[in-house]
Each structure stands twice: as structure tokens, then as C-alpha cells.
Amino acid sequence: MTSYIIRRLLIAVPLLLGMTFLAFMVIQLGGGEYFAELRLNPQISPETIEQIEKQFNLDKPAVIQYFYWLKNVLKLDFGYSFSRMASVTGLIRDRLLNTLLLSVSSIFVTWLVAIPLGIYCAVHRYSWGDRFASFFAYIGISIPNFFLALLLLYLASVVGILPLGDMRSANFYELSALGKVADIGKHLIIPTLVIATAAMAGLQRLMRGNMLEVLRAQYITTARAKGLPENRVIYVHALRNAINPMISIFGLQFSSLLGGAALTEIVCNWPGLGSLMLEAVRARDLYLVMGDLLIGGVLLIAGNLLADVLLAWTDPRIRLR
């Protein structure tokens, strides 16, 4: 297992290099730059803009710019954000924890509800409970995240129990340690429900389908013929095989933490990496976009590696070579 993980990490290096190089070139070929609007400002002289471009090597060809950026990345310096007048490393560090908090809580709620519900629907196929869960699953898949976020924010404004956006209350720093945790938890409820609803609906349907397929297998019939308790047949023999495809989906969910929460972060005013990425693209802030893309690539590789390791851990038939 250790040698497999080391090999995968070594393979990740050229993958990240290729991804970032292509992304850098595509951004350059797309045209436009952050300084285009500044050139139209009569209060900023062309000499000042040229000096800034020379300072950050933006006056050189795109390929040379990439290698200067890569050299700085190896020093954990992702560059400078012109739109926010701050270090990209600091901006990502401040936002990354917020996005991870939102995404991990969404994944936790999704799996906590979807997996048991999918098992129940498979075991009680075509019952009223199964039909009821399937009906709401189709609704959850169909409703766009931004619409559900707006709907929940409206309901919260009417009821007046939950906050209407942001991550902290105005008096956050005056609260005790437990009060701060509770305050962030209250702000986390609406965006978590928004992200979890669509994922929960799809995951529940997949779990139901996997479980139904396994329950039809011959070894399940044999286990029942031996007189094993039904709970043991379902939760020991059937579940272990039905859960394997879901672990691969878990890896994909982990790898999509950055992009999956972007729209919800914007609507709910959650200060995360997704909303920061959109602002960077709109401002044509080169180094901030590249920093966000690099983090997304790292999460993608880490998610796929995590899924493979979990599969080998849960299923002894799988051997990583």
C-alpha cells in the first residue's frame, strides 16, 4: 500500500505540471488582462503599468511567465492578486478552510441520509416509503442549487430563526468559544442543505440500485437458505458489496469540493474558494485563477487516490499493485 501511494504521488507531479501549463496557456490565449481597464484610467500613467508588468514578469512571453510562476509555486508563493491587492497564498489560505468546512459538512449529511435511505428503499422495494423517497429524490435532482438556496433563504427570512448569509454574525468576536462554534454552525445550515440535497437524491438512487442488484445475487440466496438472520444478510453480506461503487463516488465528491460549492457560496454569501474563483475569472486576475486551479487539481488527485485506498481497505479482494 505504501509503495502504491508513493507511486501515485510521483505520477501526480507531471499531471499537475501538464494541467497548470495548459491552463496558463489557455488563459493567455483567451485574451484580455487585468491591466486593460487600468490603461483607460487617465490617473494611472502607462509607465506605472509597465513597471508593474516588469516587476511580475508579465512583459515576457507566456511560456516564460509560466516558468516564473512555477518557480514561485515551488516556494509556496502563488503570486500576487492584482484585483484584491494581496498575496494569492494568503487569500487561498483564508478561503480554503471555509470551503472545506462547507463541503465536508455537506458530504457528511449526504452520506448520513442517502446510504441508509437507499438501503431501506431496496429492502422495502415498491413500498410507500420507497415511492415517497423516490419522489423526493427526483425533485432533489431536478431543482437547481441556486433556486433551492434562494428558496431556503426566503423561508429563513420569514421564520427568522436562521441567518441569511455570510459565515459569521456581526458580534462573532464578542462570543465565547462555544458561542463562536454555534454561530458558524447556524450559518452553515442553509448552504449545507443546498449542496446536500442534490447529491443526496442521486446517491440514494444509486445505493438503492446497487443494493437491489446485490440482493438478487446467488450468494445472498444461499445465505438466506442457511438460515442466517435477515439483518446479517443485508448489513454484512449484501452491504459490503453494494457499498464498493459508492466509495468511488465518494472520491469524486471529495475531488469536486472546489467547484461543487461555488454557486451555493455565491448565493449564500459564503466566503469560500468557489466564489473567489468566479471573482478572479471576472477580474481576469491571472495568478489568483491559477492558484485556484492548482488547488482544484490537487483535490482531484487526492480524491481519486483516497477512493482507491478506501476500496482496497473495504474489499479484501482488491489488491493495489
Distance CA 64, CA 74 (A): 16
- Of the listed ranges 37-51, 103-117, 216-230, 268-282, the one predicted with least confidence: 37-51
* 57, 65 contact by CB (below 8 A): yes
Distance CA 270, CA 98 (A): 8
Q: Could you identify the residue written with the cell 437491489?
A: 212
Instruction: Kindly indicate the confidence band of residue 44, based on its pLDDT and cuts at 50, 70 and 90.
Output: confident
The pLDDT, as a whole number, for residue 315 is 64
The pLDDT, as a whole number, for residue 225 is 86
The pLDDT, as a whole number, for residue 258 is 59
**Residues 202-249 pLDDT 10s:** 888 888 888 888 888 888 888 888 888 888 888 888 887 888 777 777
Q: In CATH, what number does 96-273 get?
A: 1.10.3720.10
SS3 state at 136? helix
List beta partners, residue 87: 80
Distance CA 254, CA 201 (A): 17
Distance CA 270, CA 192 (A): 11
Q: What residues does each domain of the chain span?
A: 96-273
**Which DSSP state fits 317?**
T
CA 300 to chain centre: 9
List beta partners, residue 81: 86
The pLDDT, as a whole number, for residue 259 is 60
Question: What pTM was computed for the model?
Answer: 0.78
CA 263 to chain centre: 11
pLDDT at 318 over 70: no
Please tell me the chain's helix, strand, coil percentages from 3-state DSSP, rounded to the nearest 5: 75, 0, 20
pLDDT at 316 over 70: no
